[in-house]
Amino acid sequence: MDCVFQMILILGVTASGKSAVAFELARKIGAEIISIDSMKVYRRMDVGTAKPSVQRRSQVRYHLIDVVEPYESFSVDRFLALAYKSIEQINTACRPVVAVGGTAMYIKTLLYGLFEGPGADPEIRKRLKAQIDSQGAAELHRQLADVDSEAAYRIHPNDTRRIVRAMEIFELTGKPISSFQTQFEARRKREDWKIIGLRREKSVESLRINARVKRMIKDGLVDEVKSLLAEDRPLSRQARCAIGYAEIIDYLNGEITLEKAVEKIKINTRRLAKAQRTWFKTFRRVNWLDINSAESTADILERVTALAEQGDK
């Protein structure tokens, strides 16, 4: 019997409830889950990354969780390679795929592939960075707008890394980076994925974020960070800078109080949610579900299941 490969991607900002819905959906349709989260890949970083419980992982198979050590770096290209491998394994087993997460760059890469573009030119980068140091990022962003208005619209005026890369590509090729990205995205197959987004009012999201941070502290985030810092090999820069870990490290180093650390985690998580919302606005073919605070996971699952069974827009 031929398999029907069902591929569902559930996205949303942090603490939106997407992980619980993905678990219930996977259990209902017999799917395996691919985690799209840049921090859940790290072993022993459990509380601060809100990993699914051992009980849930015994009921549904998860991919891309606990795949590297905390002292290792983890890149978007490595994510893509592992994700494609997992999809192939799940398809071979004739089971549906449910991907879930909020790491926007990883989601974009999964949908559109990895855009590499022309190679880097150290001299051009050095000159552009020096220009930012002397004239400010806003001026280089204005210059980018003159040669590539589409890229300038997408790139925040303070995102110096992406501004420099966009200008570098223009100088190297004489073409705007947006033209490369458009050609690249046109070659990708997005039709395989049914993309469902969970969306709540910002005020509700903030309350959910605050509750999650409180729960993480209660569940032992401080002890988890202490244990990680006591390991033989130091945390990678990526792991050390993760929201929740960076602030607790400051607390353990005596730089701030625990109360201040908790408040900073809440603030930084809200900033992350804002950045995620901005990213998600650029994604196409997302079937958005506006969730009200009275809806239970079961209610949301019913709506998600109905959408998943429908044809694409």
In the chain, where the domains are located: 7-113+188-309, 122-186
- Please state, in angstroms and rounded to a whole number, the distance separating the CA atoms of residues 125 and 32: 43
Mean local confidence (pLDDT), 230-247: 96
Q: Is 262 exposed, middle or buried (0-12, 13-18, 19+ CB in 10 A)?
A: buried
183, pLDDT greater than 70: no
**CA of 145: how far to CAs of 155, 178, 182, 212, in Å?**
10, 12, 17, 40
**Which CATH architecture fits 7-113+188-309?**
3-Layer(aba) Sandwich (3.40)
State the average pLDDT for the chain.
Answer: 90
Question: Strands across the sheet with 286-290, in order?
Answer: 62-63, 32-36, 97-101, 7-11, 193-199, 286-290
The third-level CATH classification (topology) of the domain covering 122-186 is: Histone, subunit A (1.10.20)
Please compute the mean of the pLDDT values over residues 75-104 and round it to a whole number: 92
Which pLDDT value is given to residue 2? 63
- Is pLDDT at 87 greater than 90 in this prediction? yes
Element (H, E) at 126: helix 122-135
Question: How does strand 62-63 pair with strand 7-11?
Answer: unpaired
> In the beta sheet, which residues pair with residue 100?
10, 35
Q: What is the phi/psi pair of residue 195, to 5°?
A: -100, 120
When pLDDT is averaged across residues 152-181 and rounded to a whole number, the result is: 82
Euclidean distance between CA atoms 204 and 13, whole angstroms: 12
**Which residue type does 28 have?**
K
pLDDT of 251 reads 98
Q: Quote the pLDDT of residue 230.
A: 98
Cβ 289 vs Cβ 300: under 8 Å: yes
Give the pLDDT confidence score for residue 204 in this predicted structure: 96
- pTM exceeding 0.85: no
Over the stretch 193-220, which tens digit does the pLDDT of each residue have?
999 999 999 999 999 999 999 999 999 9
Read off the pLDDT of each residue in 239-256 and give the average, rounded to a whole number: 97
Residues 176/184, Cβ–Cβ less than 8 Å? no
The dihedral through the CA atoms of 277, 280, 281, 282 has a sign that is: positive
Identity of residue 313: K
Phi, psi of 72 (to 5 degrees): -90, 155
Tens of pLDDT, residues 263-280: 999 999 999 999 999 999
4: CB partners within 8 A, 6+ apart: none
Task: Flag whether pLDDT at 114 surpasses 60.
Answer: no
Whether 284 and 224 have beta carbons less than 8 Å apart is answered as no
Structure tokens at 26: 């996977």
Q: What percent of the chain has pLDDT over 90?
A: 72
The residue among 262 and 119 whose pLDDT is bigger is 262
Residue 130: which of 169, 104, 160 has the closest Cα? Answer: 160
Q: pLDDT for 35-77, tens place per residue?
A: 999 999 999 999 999 999 999 999 999 999 999 999 998 888 7
Closest CA to 116 of 184, 173, 205: 184
C-alpha distance from residue 311 to each of 45, 90, 202, 288 (Å): 38, 22, 30, 15
pLDDT at 122: 87
Whose tokens are 């209660």? That residue is 218
DSSP annotation string for 152-203: HHHS-TT-HHHHHHHHHHHHHHSS-HHHHHHHHHHHS--TTEEEEEEE--HH
